[in-house]
Amino acid sequence: MKSNPFWKKLREYFSVYLPKQRNSSEKTIDTCHMAWNLLLRYLMQERGIEAGTLGFETFTAGLLEEFLEAKAGRKQAWAKFQEAIPWTVEQLRAGEPFPEWDSWEKIDK
Protein backbone atom coordinates (compact mmCIF):
# COMPACT_ATOMS: atom_id res chain seq x y z
CA MET A 1 0.00 0.00 0.00
CA LYS A 2 2.95 2.35 0.50
CA SER A 3 3.44 2.70 -3.26
CA ASN A 4 -0.28 3.34 -3.86
CA PRO A 5 -0.63 7.10 -4.56
CA PHE A 6 -4.06 7.21 -2.93
CA TRP A 7 -2.73 6.14 0.48
CA LYS A 8 0.25 8.49 0.17
CA LYS A 9 -2.03 11.48 -0.50
CA LEU A 10 -4.37 10.49 2.31
CA ARG A 11 -1.44 10.30 4.75
CA GLU A 12 -0.22 13.70 3.55
CA TYR A 13 -3.70 15.11 4.06
CA PHE A 14 -3.67 14.13 7.73
CA SER A 15 -0.01 14.76 8.49
CA VAL A 16 0.76 17.86 6.41
CA TYR A 17 -2.26 19.58 4.93
CA LEU A 18 -4.64 19.67 7.90
CA PRO A 19 -2.18 20.46 10.70
CA LYS A 20 0.37 22.59 8.83
CA GLN A 21 -1.42 24.24 5.91
CA ARG A 22 -4.86 24.71 7.43
CA ASN A 23 -3.69 24.84 11.05
CA SER A 24 -6.62 22.57 11.95
CA SER A 25 -7.27 21.66 15.56
CA GLU A 26 -6.76 18.12 16.83
CA LYS A 27 -10.52 17.82 17.11
CA THR A 28 -10.99 18.71 13.44
CA ILE A 29 -8.30 16.24 12.41
CA ASP A 30 -9.95 13.54 14.55
CA THR A 31 -13.30 14.28 12.92
CA CYS A 32 -11.74 13.93 9.48
CA HIS A 33 -10.15 10.64 10.52
CA MET A 34 -13.52 9.36 11.69
CA ALA A 35 -15.21 10.37 8.42
CA TRP A 36 -12.57 8.65 6.33
CA ASN A 37 -12.55 5.57 8.57
CA LEU A 38 -16.32 5.22 8.16
CA LEU A 39 -16.00 5.44 4.39
CA LEU A 40 -13.05 3.06 4.21
CA ARG A 41 -14.72 0.54 6.52
CA TYR A 42 -17.84 0.67 4.35
CA LEU A 43 -15.82 0.05 1.20
CA MET A 44 -13.88 -2.86 2.67
CA GLN A 45 -16.53 -4.57 4.78
CA GLU A 46 -19.75 -3.90 2.90
CA ARG A 47 -18.50 -3.57 -0.66
CA GLY A 48 -15.66 -6.11 -0.37
CA ILE A 49 -13.02 -3.79 -1.79
CA GLU A 50 -9.52 -4.64 -0.57
CA ALA A 51 -7.50 -1.81 0.96
CA GLY A 52 -4.59 -2.31 -1.45
CA THR A 53 -6.83 -1.85 -4.47
CA LEU A 54 -8.34 1.47 -3.37
CA GLY A 55 -7.44 4.33 -5.66
CA PHE A 56 -8.78 7.70 -6.70
CA GLU A 57 -10.92 6.02 -9.34
CA THR A 58 -12.75 4.11 -6.57
CA PHE A 59 -14.44 7.26 -5.31
CA THR A 60 -17.25 7.98 -7.72
CA ALA A 61 -20.23 10.20 -7.00
CA GLY A 62 -22.46 7.12 -7.09
CA LEU A 63 -20.35 5.27 -4.56
CA LEU A 64 -20.28 8.24 -2.18
CA GLU A 65 -24.04 8.64 -2.51
CA GLU A 66 -24.53 4.94 -1.79
CA PHE A 67 -22.30 5.21 1.28
CA LEU A 68 -24.14 8.23 2.61
CA GLU A 69 -27.54 6.67 2.07
CA ALA A 70 -26.41 3.47 3.75
CA LYS A 71 -24.99 5.19 6.82
CA ALA A 72 -27.23 8.12 7.63
CA GLY A 73 -29.81 10.57 6.39
CA ARG A 74 -28.47 11.81 3.08
CA LYS A 75 -28.48 15.56 3.73
CA GLN A 76 -26.92 15.36 7.20
CA ALA A 77 -24.26 12.87 6.16
CA TRP A 78 -23.32 14.78 3.02
CA ALA A 79 -22.95 18.03 4.95
CA LYS A 80 -20.66 16.36 7.49
CA PHE A 81 -18.62 14.65 4.79
CA GLN A 82 -18.15 17.90 2.87
CA GLU A 83 -17.09 19.61 6.08
CA ALA A 84 -14.54 16.91 6.88
CA ILE A 85 -13.15 16.59 3.36
CA PRO A 86 -12.55 20.11 1.98
CA TRP A 87 -10.79 19.03 -1.21
CA THR A 88 -12.36 16.88 -3.83
CA VAL A 89 -11.40 13.49 -5.13
CA GLU A 90 -11.46 15.01 -8.62
CA GLN A 91 -8.71 17.46 -7.67
CA LEU A 92 -6.58 14.61 -6.37
CA ARG A 93 -7.24 12.51 -9.47
CA ALA A 94 -6.06 15.40 -11.60
CA GLY A 95 -2.88 15.63 -9.52
CA GLU A 96 -3.69 19.13 -8.37
CA PRO A 97 -1.84 20.20 -5.23
CA PHE A 98 -3.58 21.20 -2.06
CA PRO A 99 -4.70 24.84 -2.23
CA GLU A 100 -1.70 26.56 -0.66
CA TRP A 101 0.99 24.34 -2.18
CA ASP A 102 2.93 25.21 -5.30
CA SER A 103 4.33 21.71 -5.68
CA TRP A 104 4.37 18.36 -3.94
CA GLU A 105 8.13 18.65 -3.30
CA LYS A 106 7.32 20.86 -0.30
CA ILE A 107 5.82 17.84 1.46
CA ASP A 108 9.22 16.20 1.93
CA LYS A 109 10.70 19.25 3.69
Is 30 a member of any domain?
A: yes
pLDDT for the residue 56: 87
Is 50 a member of any domain?
A: yes
Is 88 a member of any domain?
A: yes
In angstroms, the CA 23 to CA 20 distance is 5
How far, CA to CA in Å, does 35 sit from each of 3, 100, 108? 23, 23, 26
pLDDT tens digits for 11-41? 898 999 989 988 989 998 888 888 888 888 8
Q: Which residues touch 85 (CB under 8 Å, ≥6 apart)?
A: 32, 35, 36
Count how many domains the chain has: 1
Percentage of the chain beyond pLDDT 70 is: 63
Q: What average pLDDT does the structure give for the chain?
A: 76
pLDDT tens digits for 63-109? 888 887 777 655 666 666 666 665 556 566 666 555 554 444 444 33
In angstroms, the CA 21 to CA 12 distance is 11
Give the structural domain span for 62. 5-99
Is 58 a member of any domain?
A: yes
Is 105 a member of any domain?
A: no
